[in-house]
Amino acid sequence: MTVVLGMTSAKGELPLVTGSDYQYVFHWTDPDTGEAADFPDGAELYYLIGAMSNPSPAQWDFVIDGDTATIKKESTVADVVAHRTPFRLLFKEDTTPTTETVLVYGLVRRVEPR
């Protein structure tokens, strides 16, 4: 029997298309009502790219404005990330002490355009 305690992060992949900018948009919903709402004050959303044993993995920050978090990484930045590089998507709340939650973790999938 397996018992799961607490939140379980989703396993996923981060597709990066060679020669293309990486862009993504998240919209916040209130966890209690499910309705659109502003991100909590001081919240951060970001990717950590690279092995977690690396003392300084690359951090790709989202820009948060109201209920929307956006990210755009130019292809010159995204293209240096190799296929099967580990990544984590984290949500950090401005609490005391701070709360960092891994939302998604997995490997980069490098996509070559045809």
Query: Model confidence over 40-54: pLDDT tens digits?
Result: 999 999 999 998 887
Task: Determine, yes or no, domain membership for 2.
Answer: no
Asked, for residue 87, whether it belongs to a domain, the answer is yes
> If pLDDT is split at 50, 70 and 90, which confidence band does 2 have?
low
Per residue in 58-92, pLDDT (tens digit) is 999 999 999 999 999 999 999 999 999 999 999 99
Query: How many domains is the chain partitioned into structurally?
Result: 1
- Count of other CB atoms within 10 angstroms of residue 5: 5
- Measured between alpha carbons, how far is 66 from 29 in angstroms, rounded to an integer? 11
94 in a structural domain: yes
Q: Chain-wide mean pLDDT for the chain?
A: 91
What residue has token string 């984290």?
90
What CATH number is associated with residue 63? 2.60.40
Is residue 68 assigned to a domain?
Answer: yes
Tell me if 1 is assigned to some domain: no
Phi first, then psi: give them for residue 78, nearest 5 degrees.
-65, -35
In-domain check, residue 5: no
Quick check: is 37 in a domain?
yes
Residue 31 domain flag: yes
Residue 5 has pLDDT above 70, yes or no: no
pTM of the model: 0.87
> What percentage of residues in the chain have a pLDDT greater than 70?
94
* Full domain range(s) for residue 80: 10-111
